[in-house]
Amino acid sequence: MTATIIDGKAIAQELRGNIAIAAAKLTKEHGIVPGLAVVLVGSDPASEVYVKSKSKAVTEAGMKSFDHKLPADTSQADLLKLIEQLNADKTVHGILVQLPLPSQIDSTLVLNSVDPGKDVDGFHPVNAGRLATGQRALVPCTPVGSVILAKKMHASLSGMDAVVIGRSNIVGKPLAQLLLAENCTVTVAHSKTKDLKDVCRRADLLFAAVGRPEMVRGDWIKPGATVIDVGINRVPGEGGKTRLVGDVNFKEALEVAGAVTPVPGGVGPMTIACVILNTLRAACASAGLPEPKV
Ligand code: NAD
């Protein structure tokens, strides 16, 4: 058996096109141009690449991008002052503070200072609480993108057994909440889970968000299951270069699963698309408009 490879790049491209159409409609009918402010402190190369691709995606969707690049020795007080300004700025609908922040800055304090209505990363406790209680919320982008990919394979996820490996606030926990809202029976596995392989083998939908290269082997997967690989791991490649692999052994998964996401080209592109989706959603909510249909 060879699994379907879920083309996250193509699905993200289609989503970005739909977001651009919805953003143009918002501008035409309500005079609102959604705006995203991205704050980068320091010059971590991976963060710089990520921030650039976000800004490009925002501009391509017909939205405004405001980039704030601060030196690595920026004080916590100065960063908080900038966030206060962005919170008050009516042209800014989304604020994204790129992590990790330098050690002199308390990340939790900074993330909690973002207006929850502009929190396009969905990390603020108000948004986490709203998600958990089924209220309109800004939800972390990677879990949203992961569920969209699963739904491309299944018209309904209702009643399916979903296993999420990983319980971080950024991926595992919000992903579990989204799957519950889709009426899945959800198991959250983590570093202390016993018999992880057997737990995984029960899954109709298996999500791996661990950060361990190719940890999930072929015999951890129920035949025909849909496997969404969130992991991004850099491992040594040919000629002294590094290459990216996921948390799932892709080759083995292809032999057993019904569908599987590749790394790169699976969840990664969806995360970027969902940043602009959340910016659009935040802009609509700020104007008292219903959720945009994309
Ligand atoms: P994290 O380190 O915060 O959490 C990892 C989780 O994995 C923890 O909850 C831990 O309990 C669990 N875990 C660790 N070792 C385990 C083991 N041996 N068995 C079972 N569970 C184990 O990581 P995170 O921020 O949630 O990210 C997870 C992965 O997803 C990383 O590879 C990260 O790079 C990737 N990621 C990708 C995107 C994307 O856009 N595709 C976005 C965010 C994170």
pLDDT value, residue 1: 74
Positions in the chain whose pLDDT score sits under 50: none
pLDDT value, residue 135: 97
For helices 45-60 and 267-286, angle between their N-to-C axes, nearest 10 degrees = 60
Distance in Å, CA 146 to ligand 1 centroid: 14
Active site annotation includes 9: no
pLDDT value, residue 153: 98
Active site annotation includes 247: no
Distance in Å, CA 170 to ligand 1 centroid: 9
Distance in Å, CA 11 to ligand 1 centroid: 23
pLDDT tens digits for range 242-286:
999 999 999 999 999 999 999 999 999 999 999 999 999 999 999
Atom of ligand 1 nearest to the CA of 263: 41
pTM above 0.75, yes or no: yes
pLDDT tens digits for range 9-46:
999 999 999 999 999 999 999 999 999 999 999 998 88
pLDDT value, residue 46: 87
Active site annotation includes 173: no
Ligand 1 neighbours (beta carbon < 6 A): 142, 165-168, 170-172, 189-191, 193, 196, 209-212, 230-233, 267-268, 271
